[in-house]
Amino acid sequence: MAARRMSSLLSSSYASPLLRSLGRGSSISRFSTAAALEEPITPPVKVEYTKLLINGQFVDAASGKTFPTLDPRTGQLIANVAEGDIEDVNRAVSAARKAFDEGPWPRMTAYERSRILLRFADLVEQHADEIAALEAWDNGKPYEQATSDEIPLFIRLFRYYAGWADKIHGLTIQADGPHHVETLHEPIGVAGQIIPWNFPLLMYSWKVGPALACGNTVVLKTAEQTPLSALYVSKLFHEAGLPPGVLNIVSGYGPSAGAALASHMDVDKLAFTGSTETGKIVLGLAAKSNLKPVTLELGGKSPFIVCEDANVDEAVDLAHAALFYNQGQCCCAGSRTFVHERIYDEFIEKAKARALKRVVGDPFRKGVEQGPQVDSEQFDKILKYIRSGVDSGATLETGGQRFGSNGYYIQPTVFSNVQDDMLIAKDEIFGPVQSILKFKDTDEVIRRANASPFGLAAGVFTQNLDTANRMTRALKAGTVWVNCFDVFDAAIPFGGYKMSGHGREKGIYSLQNYLQIKAVVTRLKNPAWL
Amino acid sequence: MAARRISGVIARSLSSSIVSRGNRSNFGREVQRFSTVAALEEPITPPVGINYTQLLIDGKFVDSASGKTFPTLDPRTGDVIANVAEGDAEDVNRAVSAARKAFDEGPWPKMTAYERSRILLRFADLVDKHNDDLAALETWNNGKPYEQAARIEVPSVARLFRYYAGWADKIHGLTVPADGPYHVQTLHEPIGVAGQIIPWNFPLIMFAWKVGPALATGNTIVLKSAEQTPLTALYAAKLLHEAGLPPGVLNIVSGYGPTAGAALASHMDVDKIAFTGSTATGRIVQELAAKSNLKPVTLELGGKSPFIVCEDANVDRAVELAHFALFFNQGQCCAAGSRTFVHERVYDEFVEKAKARAQRRTVGDPFQKGIEHGPQVDSDQFEKILRYIKSGIESDATLECGGDKIGSKGYYIQPTVFSNVKDDMLIAQDEIFGPVQTILKFKELDEVIKRANMTRYGLAAGVFTKSIDTANMLTRALRAGTVWVNCYDVFDAAIPFGGYKMSGIGREKGIYSLHNYLQVKAVVTSLENPAWL
C-alpha cells in the first residue's frame, strides 16, 4: 500500500490526479476569472520552532536577531525566525566537528544509523499533514501537492538512504606486486549544506539523507524564504534518536550565514542547490578557504522536445506540467518547449487551452493546482521577463499579468513564436511562463537544445525508437526523460552537465559526494595468490 | 615477461633494486657520495637527440602564434637544452578548438571503445620500444637518475596505458530500479574536452595518469606540460599519433602557468580540468574554473605526509623505506614521507641509521651508473630548499648531515637529515619538495595520530608496525588518501591516489579515476504494460 502510494511520484501524479482534478474544479477560480482570492484560509498547523538548532538544542542567534518569514499569499508575517550569522555557523560547525571527531555518529554501526533514519521516516509519516501545511504556508505551493507528492517522496528518500547506510562497500584491488590493496570509503567529516526554497523538504532529504547515511555530520542552512519545515522535521529527527550535534540547522541569509559556511576552514564538504550565479560564488569561497569539495545543483533551461510522431495530447499535458508544476519554480522546468512544425499550431492551441484551465488560488483550497510565487523578488522578476517576451515580439497566447491584487500570484502564461535569441528562451525565469519554439528536423533541434550554458534535464516525446535513442545520446543534459517528465525516484541520479552543476544527487552516485576514498596498501609476506 | 618487468613498480624496485644497489659497496664505489663532493666534472652527454620542440595541435607540430620560445634547461648545469615554442592564450584557443572538433565531430568518441583501446595498446608498445630515448629525455630535462627513469618510470607509463586500454571497453552504466512504470538507465558519457595541467617532477607518469583515463573514456585533450620539462610529453604524444590517434584528440601546449595554464583553466569551451601541482596554484585553477564555465576540477596537490615508525617495527627496514620515501626523486614527490615520526624507544637508533643511510646516498650526474640522486629541477626549487634548510637550523632542529649544496654548477643538494624536529617548525609544516628528512619523536599512538593529522594536507601516510591492531587503528584514523602499511610509494595502476583536505579533490588511477572523465546521464523512459518492475 505504502509502496503504491509512494509510487505516485511527481510525474505520474500530475499526469493523473492533477489532471483529474479539472473535473472537480468547477467551484474554483480559474486564473482568467480572477474573481476571488478572498480571505486566505487559515493553515491547519501552528509554528512551533523558529530558533536555530545547534547541538541538539533550539537556541537564539548569537546576535539575538530575527528575520520575518512571510506568507506568499499575502506578504504578511508568518513568524520571526532566529537569524544565523558567522558566529552561529561557527557554533554549529564546532558542534558538528565534535560529533564527528569524538561523537557516536561515525562510530556507531551502520545498522544503528539506518535504524534512526527509518524511525525518522516513520515519524514524518505520522506528522505528514502538519509538515505539508507548514511547507505550503511558507512556500505557497498547493497543500495537496505537498501532501500527495512531496512528503511521501521525502519519506521514501530517507528509507532509500537508510538502506544504503549498511551497504557502503569499498573494494579489494589486484596489485602489481606482493601487496594487499583495499579501499575504504570513509565519511568525509562535517558537511555544509545550503538548500533552496522551491522544495525545502525534498532538498533537505536529497542533502541530509546521503550525508547521514554515510556517517557524516551536517550543518544545514535553509533558504531565508522557507526556514520552517526544516526546523520541524529536524526536531523529529532528534526524537528518532539522532545524537546532538549530528545535524545542525542554521536559518539565515546567503551572504552572511551561507558565505560563512562555504568559507569555513573546518567544514570538509559543501553541497549547494540554487542559482548558477550563487554556485560560482560558493565554489570560489570553497577554493579560497580550505579547498573543500563542492557539489552543485544549479540552474537550467531544459528543452522539452515534441517530435512530429508524438502523442500530442499527452505531450501537451506533460509539457504543461513540466513547466507549471510548483508555479514554475523548478530547476529542471521544461522551459523551452520545442514543437515540430507539423504539429506546432495544434500544440499551441491545446497548450493555451490547458493553461487557461489551470486552477490558480489559495494553496490550501481543494483542487488548486497553482499558488502564489514565493516572494516579491521572484514575482517582480517573472513579470519583467513576461514584459521582455512581449517586447521582443513573442506572441503572448494567454496570461501575462499578476493574478488578483494580493500576494504573489501570476497568471499561467504561454508564449508562442519564441526565438532562440530572446531572453525568455535563454534565461531561467523560474515562473509560470511557457515558451514554445518551432523546429523542423532532428539535427536542428539537437543543436538548438544544446546551445545553452545549462544542461540539467531534457524531455523527448516520440514514438520512434531511433529518434529516442539518438536524442538521448546527443542531448547534453544530466537527465533525459522519454515520454515522461519530472520522474524523481530515489534511485535516479540527478544533476547537471555544463553550468547546471557538479556531481549527482540521489541514487548510488550521491554517496560519492559524502565519502572519501582511502587506499590502504599492506605489504604481503608469502602471498598464496596475487 | 613484459608483465613481470612492468610489475617492478616504483616501490618494489626501489626497496629492492635501488636500495640493494646502494648497499652493494662494489657497485657504488666509483660513484660520488655526497660527503665526498669532489667532482661533478663534465656532464655526461645524454644518449638522445631532441626532435620535438614545437606545440602539437591538431596532429601537427606548429610554432606558437606569437613565434615566441622559451629555453628549457639542464638541471645539471643550468645550460640551455633547447628552445621550445611558448604557448599562450591564442595557442590554447587553437588547441581547444581542435579538441572540440575532434570531440563534437569525431571520430574519437564515435569510434568503438575496442578501437580506442587498440590505439592505447599500440602506444604502450611504442613506449616500450622507445623506452631508453624517453628515459634519457626525461632525465636530461628533469635531472632524475637515468636508471630510475629507464627501469621504473617509463615502464610504468606503458603499464598505465595498458591498464587504461583495458578500461576503455568496460565503462558500464547501470540499469536502475524505478518506483513506477519507468525504465531507468544511466549512461556514462565522455565529458568532452579535458584540459590537463601536469607538473615537472614526473612528467611522463603524470602524462599517463591524466591522458590515460581521459582517452580511455572517449574524451579529447589539451594538455599543458610544465615549463621546466616540456620535452617528453611532445615525444610521447608523437608516438600516440604513430599508434593511430586521430588528429585533434590530444593537443600539447608547452608554456607557463599564468599564461597558457590560466587560459586553459578559464576557457569557456573546456568541459573539465585536471591539475597536479601546488596547493596555492590549485586554488587559482579552481577559482578560474568557477569564474568561467564552472567546469569540474580534479586536483592533486601538495602534501606533508607522515611516515610513522612504531616501536615494534623492523627498524632497519623502516630506516631504508623512510629514506626512500623522502629522498626518492630528489625529494620531489607530492607523496614524500616528509614527517618521519619515530617512537621514542627506537628514536636514537633510527636517527643514527637514517643519517648513515643518507650519507651513503650516491649523488651525481644522473646519467652515471649507480647514481641514486641527481640535481633539483631548477634554481627556484634549489634556492627554496636551501632556505628551508637554513630555517631548520635557525629553529634549532639538529642537522645530522647534509645541509648544503654540492659543487658550484647545477642544482645539486646534499641529502639532509634533521632530528629533534618539532611540530611547529616550518620544516615540519611546509612542503619542502627536496632532499630534507625531518625526524620527529613520539610516545603514544593517540598522540601520533593527532600530530600526524594536524596539517592542512592529507595526501598519504606510512605506517610501520607488526601489530595488526596498531595497523588497523592507524589506517582508519589517519586522514590521508593513501595509507601504506610496511611499505611506501606503491603506485600500481589500480590503486587510487588523491588527497584528503587541502591535498586535493578526486582520485587518479584505478577505477575511481574514470569518474573524473565521465558525465552521468540518467535516461528515464515511460513503460507501457511492463512485465516486471
CA distance B527 to B208: 44
Dist. CA B17–CA A137, nearest whole Å: 73
d(CA B377, CA B387): 16
DSSP states of B343-359 as a string? EHHHHHHHHHHHHHHHH
Which among B286, B294, B523 has the least Cβ separation from residue A480? B523
Q: What residues of chain B lie within 8 A of the CB of A518, using their CB?
A: 475, 480-483, 500
Q: Tell whether the model's pLDDT for residue A477 goes beyond 50.
A: yes
Q: Are A220 and A242 in contact (CB under 8 A)?
A: no
B187 vs A171: CB contact, 8 Å cut-off?
no
pLDDT single digits (tens) A488-525: 999 999 999 999 999 999 999 999 999 999 999 999 99
Section A196-213 average pLDDT: 98
Long-range contacts of B26-29 (CB under 8 A, 24+ apart): B27/B370, B28/B360, B28/B362, B28/B370
Q: Rounded to the nearest 5°, which phi and psi values hold at B207?
A: -60, -45
- Enclosing H/E stretch for B139: helix B131-142
Q: What is the DSSP string of A154-223?
A: HHHHHHHHHHHHTT----EE--SSSEEEEEEEEE-SEEEEE--SSSHHHHHHHHHHHHHHTT-EEEEEPP
**What residues of chain B lie within 8 A of the CB of A179, using their CB?**
487, 490, 492
B419 vs B441: CA distance, rounded Å: 9
Of A174, A280, A290, the CB nearest to B494: A174
- Quote the CA–CA distance of A63 and A55 in Å, as a whole number: 18
Distance from CA of B164 to the nearest CA of A (A): 15
Q: Which residues of chain B make contact with A490, given a CB cutoff of 8 A?
A: 179
φ and ψ of B248, to 5 deg: 90, -15
Interface test mutation site (partner B, options A100, A291, A332, A512, max chain B beta carbons within 10 A): A291
Cell matching residue B413? 643538494
- Mean pLDDT over the full length of chain A: 93
What residues 28-67 of chain B have any CB closer than 8 A to a CB of chain A? none
CB contact under 8 A, A512 and B476: no
B299 contacts on A by Cβ (under 8 Å)? 291
| Start-to-end C-alpha separation, chain B | 50
**Taking CB atoms and an 8 Å limit, are B279 and A291 in contact across chains?**
yes
Neighbouring C-alpha atoms within 13 Å toward the C-beta of B125: 10
CA trace torsion B209, B212, B216, B220 (10° rounding): 100
Task: Determine whether A180 is exposed, middle or buried from the number of CB atoms within 10 Å of its CB (0-12, 13-18, 19+).
Answer: middle
Distance (Å) from the alpha carbon of B66 to chain A's nearest alpha carbon: 31
Instruction: Tell me which DSSP letter residue A34 carries.
Output: -
Which residues of A are catalytic, by number? 297, 331
B324 at the A interface (CB within 8 A)? no
- Write the DSSP string, B86-103: -B-HHHHHHHHHHHHHHH
Q: Is B337 on the interface with A (CB under 8 A)?
A: no
Burial class (CB in 10 A: 0-12, 13-18, 19+), B532: exposed
CB-CB neighbors (< 8 A) of B8 in chain A: 177
Q: Which residues contact A9 (CB under 8 A, 6 or more apart)?
A: A149, A152, A153, A156, A487, A488, A489, B179, B180
Out of B279, B475, B487, name the one closest to residue A523 (CB).
B487
B501: contact with A, CB 8 A cutoff:
yes
Query: What are A78-129's pLDDT values in tens digits?
Result: 999 999 999 999 999 999 999 999 999 999 999 999 999 999 999 999 999 9
Nearest CA to A307 out of A485, A458, A439 is that of: A439
CA distance A518 to B161: 23
Task: Specify the pLDDT at position A34.
Answer: 42
**Cβ–Cβ under 8 Å, residues A276 and B295:** no
Omega prior to A200 cis, within 30 of 0: no
**Statement: residue A30 has pLDDT above 60:** no
Q: Which residue of A has its CA nearest to B482?
A: A519
Cβ-Cβ contacts under 8 Å, B283 against chain A: 287-288, 291
Q: Which three cell numbers stand for residue A38?
A: 478572498
CA of A415 vs chain B CAs: smallest distance (Å):
28
Question: How wide is the angle at C-alpha B279 spanned by C-alphas B278 and B282, nearest 5°?
Answer: 90
Q: Which residue of A has its CA nearest to B3?
A: A176
Give the distance from residue A383's alpha carbon to the nearest chain B alpha carbon, in angstroms: 28
Report the distance separating Cα A384 and Cα A370, nearest Å.
20
Alpha-carbon distance of A380 to A375, in angstroms, equals 9
Phi, psi of A222 (to 5 degrees): -85, 170
Partners of residue B495 in chain A, C-beta under 8 Å: 173, 175, 181, 519, 521
CB pairs under 8 A between A and B: 202
Cell of B226: 610544465
Contact B485 A481 (CB under 8 A): no
Tell which residue, A471, A480, A374, A442, has the closest CA to residue A136: A374
Are B495 and A175 in contact (CB < 8 Å)?
Answer: yes
Residue the block writes with cell 598464496: A528
Q: How confident is the model at residue A39 (pLDDT cuts 50, 70, 90)?
A: confident
Q: Are A222 and A198 in contact (CB under 8 A)?
A: no
Distance from CA of B482 to the nearest CA of A (A): 5
Query: Is B511 an interface residue toward A (CB < 8 Å)?
Result: yes
Strands ordered across the beta sheet of A294-297: A57-59, A52-54, A247-250, A217-221, A190-194, A269-273, A294-297, A501-502
Comparing alpha-carbon positions, the chain A residue that sits nearest to B300 is: A291
How far apart are the C-alpha atoms of B152 and B131, rounded to whole Å? 10
Shortest Cα distance, chain A CAs vs residue B300, angstroms:
11
Q: Closest approach of chain A CAs to the CA of B502, in angstroms?
A: 6
Q: Residue A489's closest chain B neighbor by CA?
A: B179
Closest CA to B290 of A232, A503, A204, A499: A499
Q: What is the model's pTM?
A: 0.91
Buried b (16+ CB within 10 A) or exposed e, A314-331: ebbbbbbbbbbbbbbbbb
State how far residue A485 is from chain B, nearest Cα, in angstroms: 8
pLDDT tens for A339-353 read 999 999 999 999 999
Average the pLDDT over A462-490 and give the result. 97
Other beta carbons within 10 Å of B88: 18
Q: Say if the Cβ atoms of A480 and B174 lie within 8 Å.
A: no
Say whether residue B2 is in contact with chain A using an 8 A CB cutoff.
no
With CB atoms and an 8 Å threshold, state whether B480 touches A518.
Answer: yes
Residues 6+ apart with CB under 8 A from A509: A493, A495, A503, B186, B520
Q: For residue A338, what is the enclosing H or E element?
A: strand A336-340
- Quote the cell numbers at residue A299: 540552474
Tell me the pLDDT of chain B (533 aa) as tens digits: 333 333 333 334 333 333 333 333 333 334 455 544 444 678 999 999 999 999 999 999 999 999 999 999 999 999 999 999 999 999 999 999 999 999 999 899 999 999 999 999 999 999 999 999 999 999 999 999 999 999 999 999 999 999 999 999 999 999 999 999 999 999 999 999 999 999 999 999 999 999 999 999 999 999 999 999 999 999 999 999 999 999 999 999 999 999 999 999 999 999 999 999 999 999 999 999 999 999 999 999 999 999 999 999 999 999 999 999 999 999 999 999 999 999 999 999 999 999 999 999 999 999 999 999 999 999 999 999 999 999 999 999 999 999 999 999 999 999 999 999 999 999 999 999 999 999 999 999 999 999 999 999 999 999 999 999 999 999 999 999 999 999 999 999 999 999 999 999 999 999 999 999 999 999 999 999 998 98
Nearest chain A residue (CA) to B513: A517
The torsion angles phi and psi of B70, rounded to 5 degrees, stand at -135, 150
- Work out the angle between the directed axes of helices B113-129 and B203-216 (0-180°, nearest 10): 160
Q: In the structure grid, which three cell numbers stand for residue B162, read together?
A: 595498458
Report how many helices (DSSP H) and strands (DSSP E) chain A contains, helices first.
Answer: 18, 20
Does residue A47 sit in helix, strand or coil? coil
Task: Measure the CA–CA gap between A455 and A467, rounded to whole angstroms.
Answer: 20
C-alpha dihedral (A259, A261, A267, A272), degrees to nearest 10: -80
Examine the pLDDT at A26 and tell me if it is beyond 80: no
CA B511 to chain centre: 18
Q: What is the dihedral of CA B108, B110, B114, B118, to 10 degrees?
A: -20
Alpha-carbon dihedral angle through residues A396, A398, A400, A406, given to the nearest 10 degrees: 180
Integer CA distances (angstroms), A43 to A140, A468, B37, B506, in order: 11, 45, 86, 47
Are B406 and B388 a contacting pair, CB within 8 Å?
Answer: no
Note whether B527 contacts A: Cβ–Cβ < 8 A.
Answer: no
Q: Which residue in A316, A223, A275, A319 sits closest to A430, CA to CA?
A: A275
Are B72 and B230 contacting, i.e. CB atoms less than 8 angstroms apart? yes
Least Cα distance to A192 among A93, A98, A280 occurs for A93
- ipTM surpassing 0.85: yes
B498 touches chain A (CB under 8 A): yes
- Reduce the secondary structure of A53-73 to three states and give it as a string: EECCEEECCCCCCEEEEEECC
> Dihedral through CA B330, CA B334, CA B335, CA B336, nearest 10?
30
Listing DSSP states for A392-446 in one string gives TT-EEEE--SB-SSSTT-B--EEEES--TTSHHHHS---SSEEEEEEE--HHHHH
| Chain A residues whose beta carbon lies within 8 Å of the beta carbon of residue B279 | 291
Cα–Cα distance measured from residue B151 to residue B137, given in angstroms and rounded to the nearest whole number: 14
Tell if the CB–CB gap between B9 and A177 is shorter than 8 Å.
Answer: yes
Catalytic positions of B, written as ranges: 300, 334
Task: Name the residue among A173, A478, A490 with its Cβ closest to that of B522.
Answer: A478
Distances (CA, A) of B243 to A258, B104, B125, B134, B239: 51, 22, 9, 16, 6
Phi/psi of residue A179, nearest 5 degrees:
-135, 145
Residue B52 Cα to chain centre, angstroms: 23
